[in-house]
Structure 1
Amino acid sequence: MKESRYNVWVDNGPFHYVYNGLSGTTAVVPATQRELITAFLAGDDPAGLDAAVLHSLVVGRMVITDETDEVEVLQERYRRTRRNSDAFHLTIVTSLGCNFDCPYCFEAKHPSLMDEAVQDRLLRVVETRLASVRRLSVLWYGGEPLIGLAGLLRMSDAFRTRTEAAGADYSASILTNGYLLTAEVAEQLSAHGVRSAQVTVDGPAETHDRRRALTSGRGSFATILANVVAVADILAVSVRVNLDADNVGDYGRLLEVLADAGLAGRVTIHPGQIVAADVDPAAPSASYHAGCLGRSEFAAVERDFFRAAASFGFSVPGLPSPVGAPCTAVRDDELVVGSRGELYKCPETVGNPAEVIGNLLTWPRAGDRLLRWLTFEPFDDEECRSCRALPVCMGGCAHHAMNSGLRDSRCSTFRWRYDEQVSALVSRRDR
């Protein structure tokens, strides 16, 4: 027997805690047993070793057989989940137009709406896939997807009708800037099967309005805050706070504003890292260099953000769970559909003509652009193979990994914070 390479130990007085990334479980080990277990794994048979404690470590995969190759286990998990034939996931861009003018946006916007001809082609693709899958899930995306609300509702109805007829499940969520997300719109979305929404707020009013203004130049914070308060009990709302050096000192005041508005316990909240992506030279992000944080810097900011959020009564995430193929970009049965019917594999490449892998008229057709995504594996990267965070990250963002200027931001923050995150869990348990 041997110890897993993906164990994270935290010593806490009379008990030691060990988290295993491969299983996603945490075990408690009396301090008196720690050295005995180490001796057992070294080949000894120490007196006093508690068989029940050892059994719990075997069940939690903290202790494995000598023959087990954990990287091979992860490779098999990655490949199995990459080719999940039970589910079909679509990210659908209803409009690549937007009512905001954010300086760090990675999309080159144009005022397009998905017309009915493209919608009908998409419905035919869904009908074909529903003959062999049990679940259809949709992320409504943009631009600003609520600009294309009419098409969104029309397609939602069509998806629900077809999944019901096929005996399949349907789920949907939306990523929106929140300006058009009134209570009336939220009720419409919910009635049409959209049950969750992510809304971005970059700070208190003066900070947010400087960074996320309308195309007219007017601020958007007051309207978004009123909307989030109004819809928090209609949809499951997640608030994302995009952070860089420009606004990292302001999130505490934002948390206070949100808590004073009665949103603690009603919405979830998390920080997002801004990356100056220059893959598409026509996108605003190509020239945005306002102190973007490196991934290790962002990991420390994320830690402090969640500590502050907890102090205001917001829920904070626990330890990461193991993942298989981590995102749409590297999974076979997932597509990003642009407003003009163009197809992508990664949402971050929407609007970039160089990243188009095909169109609805000819999909599926294997080609170099598609194979680039579907042959990507983190196990070809020695840094990934040897990383403690591999089971909960699986290489992270493939789009960033394949672009040299973005590689720093490809990883899960668990890579830099696994000791801190496990220690934080232990501290919460012992309160």
Structure 2
Amino acid sequence: MKESGYNTWVADGPRWWVHNGISGRIVAVPAGQREPIRLFLAGHDDVPVDVDLLHDLVAAQVLIPDAADELDLLRLRYAATRRNPDRFHLTVVTSLGCNFDCPYCFEAKHPSLLDGTVQERLLRLVDRKLPDVRELAVLWYGGEPLVGLPALLSLSDELRARTDAAGVGYSAGIITNGYLLTAEVAGQLRDRGVTTAQVTVDGPPEVHDRRRPLAGGRGTFDTLLANIVAVAGLIDVTVRVNLDRGNAGDYPRLLAILAAAGLAGRVGVHPAQVVTPAGRAGAPSGSYRVDCLPRPEYASVEQEFLRQAEALGFATSAPPGPVGAPCTAVRDNELIVGSRGELYKCTETVGDPAEVVGNLLDWPRAGDRLMKWLTYDPFGDEECRSCPALPVCMGGCAYHAMDPRTRDSRCSTFRFRRQEQVGRMIARHAQKAG
């Protein structure tokens, strides 16, 4: 037997906790047993090792056979999830236009709406897929998807009618700036199977209004806060806070404002890193002059953000668990449909003509732009192969990995703050155990 290469040990008074990245499981180890286990693995058969504990460690894949090849296991997991035939996932851009003018936005927007012809072609694609899947999942995206609300509602009705008739599961969520997300709209979304909404708020009023104004410059914070309070009981809302050096010190005041508005326990919150590669023609991010946080520094900010949010009673994202192929970009049964019927593989590329992989008119048709995503292989990267975060990251963001300007942002923050994140897992584990 040997110890897995993906274990993280955390001391906790009279015991140790060990987390295995491949299984995602946590085992408590009495302090007096850690050294006997080490000696046992080194070949000392006469040490007093708790046999039941050994069985628990083997079951959790903390201890593995000497001949086990964990990289090969992860490769198989990646391949199996990359080609999952049971679930078809669509990200649908109802409008590439937007009512906001965010200076760090990576999209080169134009005021296009998903018209009837594109909707018809999208439904034909779904009709071809439904006989072979068990679930259709939809993410409504933009630009600002609620600018295209009529198309969103009519398409939702059509999609649900088709999945109901085919006996296929249906789920949906939306990523929105929140300005048009009134209680009435949230009710319309909920009635059509949209159960989750992500809304971005970048700080307290004067900070958010500088970073996320309406087109024309007027602030948006007050409207967003009122909308979030109004819809929190109708749809599951997560508040995203995009962080860079321009606002990384301001989120505590935002969390306090959200808590004072009665949103603790009613909405989730999570931070996100602003990454703005230059060179996207027409995108505001090309001229954004605020420094982005390097990934290791952002990882530290993230953990403190989560600590403060949880102390105030907000739900936060769980620490990362084992994953397969991590996102739409590298999974072959997932597509992003642009507002003009063009197709993409990564949300970071929406609106970039150089990244279009096809069109609803002639899909499926293989080409170089598509194959660069479907042949992306994190196991070909020595840094990924040797990284302890690989089971919970699987190469991370392929888009950033392919761009030398943003390559360092491809990684899960687990790589840099593994001890703290495992500590959060242990705290949740202990809380559930009573």
TM-score by length of 1: 0.98
Instruction: Tell me the residue number matched to 2:251.
Output: 251
Instruction: Tell me the residue number matched to 2:264.
Output: 264
Instruction: Tell me the residue number matched to 2:108.
Output: 108
Is 2:338 aligned against 1:338? yes
Distance 1:168 1:239 in 2: 30
Distance 2:56 2:229 in 1: 45
Q: Map 1:147-226 to 2 at 5 A.
A: 147-226=147-226
Is 2:296 aligned against 1:289? no
Question: Which stretches in structure 2 are left out of the alignment for 5+ residues?
Answer: none
* 2:53 partner letter: V
Distance 1:329 1:348 in 2: 10
Instruction: Tell me the residue number matched to 2:308.
Output: 308
Distance 1:68 1:284 in 2: 49
Instruction: Tell me the residue number matched to 1:235.
Output: 235
Deviates more, 1:37-46 or 1:386-395: 37-46
Deviation at 1:311, TM superposition (A): 2.1
Deviation at 1:426, TM superposition (A): 3.9
On the 8 A contact 1:336/1:345 being kept in 2, the answer is yes
Distance 2:253 2:47 in 1: 56
Distance 1:388 1:118 in 2: 44
Is 2:129 aligned against 1:129? yes
Once the two structures are superposed, residues 101-151 of structure 1 have per-residue CA deviations (whole angstroms, 9 ceiling, x without a partner) of 000000001000010000000000000000101100000000000000000
Deviation at 1:13, TM superposition (A): 2.5
Once the two structures are superposed, residues 253-295 of structure 1 have per-residue CA deviations (whole angstroms, 9 ceiling, x without a partner) of 0000000000000000000100112252321112213011011
Distance 1:430 1:341 in 2: 49
Deviates more, 1:263-272 or 1:5-14: 5-14
Cα distance, 1:66–1:372 mapped onto 2, change above 3 Å: same
* 2:17 partner letter: Y
Aligned pairs, how many? 431
Distance 2:19 2:211 in 1: 39
* 1:7 partner letter: N
* 2:123 partner letter: L
Q: Map 1:65-76 to 2 at 5 A.
A: 65-76=65-76
Distance 2:317 2:115 in 1: 39
Q: Map 1:34-113 to 2 at 5 A.
A: 34-113=34-113
Instruction: Tell me the residue number matched to 2:367.
Output: 367
Deviation at 1:427, TM superposition (A): 5.3
Distance 1:59 1:251 in 2: 41
On the 8 A contact 2:40/2:47 being kept in 1, the answer is no
Distance 2:427 2:117 in 1: 56
Deviation at 1:423, TM superposition (A): 2.9
TM-score by length of 2: 0.98
* 2:101 partner letter: D
On the 8 A contact 1:276/1:289 being kept in 2, the answer is no
* 1:95 partner letter: S
Distance 2:335 2:275 in 1: 23
1:131 partner SS: helix
On the 8 A contact 1:39/1:46 being kept in 2, the answer is no
Distance 1:75 1:425 in 2: 25
On the 8 A contact 2:319/2:424 being kept in 1, the answer is no
1:320 partner SS: coil
Deviation at 1:206, TM superposition (A): 0.7
Distance 2:180 2:161 in 1: 26
* 1:171 partner letter: S
* 2:322 partner letter: P
On the 8 A contact 2:269/2:317 being kept in 1, the answer is no
Deviation at 1:244, TM superposition (A): 0.7
On the 8 A contact 1:36/1:46 being kept in 2, the answer is no
On the 8 A contact 1:203/1:254 being kept in 2, the answer is yes
Deviation at 1:345, TM superposition (A): 0.3
On the 8 A contact 1:17/1:28 being kept in 2, the answer is yes
Deviation at 1:316, TM superposition (A): 3.1
